[in-house]
Structures are given as C-alpha cells and as structure tokens.
Amino acid sequence: MSRREIVEVGHPVLRECAREVSEEELRSDEVQRLIDDMVETMRAADGAGLAANQVAETLRIAVVEVRPGNPRYPYKAPIPLTVVVNPVIEPLDDEVERINEGCLSVPNLRGEVPRHMSIRLRYTDRDGEEHEEVRRGLTAGTFQHELDHLDGVLFLDRVDDPATLTTWDAYERFYRDTFEERARSIVERTGS
C-alpha cells in the first residue's frame, strides 16, 4: 500500500464522470492495489471518504470510513470501512438537511450543502459481493458527497448559499460549535 497524491480543485479529473468497473477489472491486482492505496490515503489525511477521481483515477470506486476520534469530523457517527464499487444512490424521502462540508480536494474551504437524510445505497464491494443498504443522517450525506465525486461534482457545486463558504479558520472560529451542535442532534435523531 502507498499514499497517493490527492488532486485539488481545478484538476480536470475532478470534473470527469468515472466509468463503471467490470467484474474482471475488480478482481485485478491493479484495482485491488488502488483500493488499498485509497484507504491508506484517506486515513493519512483524516478524511471520511475518498473517491477514485481524487487520486486521478476515473473508476467508479469510493472508500468511506469514519473512525472514532477523527479530528476533522468529531461529530460524525463511526462508519466502518466501506468500499463501494459502481455505487447507485436513491433518496428515500424528501427530508433534507444543510450539512457543513469540507473536502480533501478543496483544501481550506467549507460550505453548507443540502443532503438527503435517508438514501438507499446499492454497490458491489471489493470482493464482488452486491449490497443494498439504507443509510441515514450524516452518514447518508458522506456517501452522497463521495458519489458526487464519481459524477464529476464537487461540494462547491451543491452549495446553495455562497454566504456559507468559509475557510477552515473562520469555520473553527465562528461556526464550528453551532454546526457541531446541529450535527450531533442529527446523529441522535437518525442514529448516524
């Protein structure tokens, strides 16, 4: 395993739509190595997720994990390591919350993004097993963020009020406590 460079906003690969991964490709050493590298890269950056586009690969693969004590996301419920290949999301209802998001590919910037609070997630795991799961709350938002990357969409495109854009320093100073209180109430209400 090795850490890969995380490309930043402005890199053309972040605007590309990733292509589906075939069963044969998924079994290949190359793709399995990519998945391992993505996990290591995400963990080293204290991320909650990482899409293949973010390491300059246009395959429909993302990894998501929130470990307890993550300094970037102390308010998020833990998410066990989940590797999603060829994922599809379906909102389950109209409930939407505004989530203050950041992104490893958009350093030093955060903003509020409306996200569905209940989704159905269909994907293949790294071993080729198919899954269908319901994800709720901030966890649902995390998966939506990563799947957006696979479609060439950044959280910046989803910010509906540009006045919510802040640097990390401004977020820490003026908005963190208020958002984290709201985020914790979402986790309490939804369980994730």
Please list the active-site residues.
146
User: Is-contact 101 190, C-beta < 8 A?
Assistant: no
The four Cα atoms 185, 80, 15, 88 give a dihedral, to 10 degrees, of: -90
Measured between alpha carbons, how far is 121 from 141 in angstroms, rounded to an integer? 12
Residues 6+ away with beta carbon under 8 Å from 177: none
- Here the tokens at position 59 are 């395959």
By C-alpha distance, which of 75, 45, 44, 47 is closest to 63? Answer: 47
Cα within 13 Å of Cα(4), Cβ side? 22
Collect contacts of 68-74 with beta carbons under 8 A, ≥24 apart: 70/46, 71/46, 72/46, 72/47, 72/48, 72/102, 73/46, 73/48, 74/180
Token couple for 71: 């300094």
Q: What would the two tokens of residue 149 be?
A: 């990357």
Take residue 133 and report the two structure tokens written for it: 């799961």
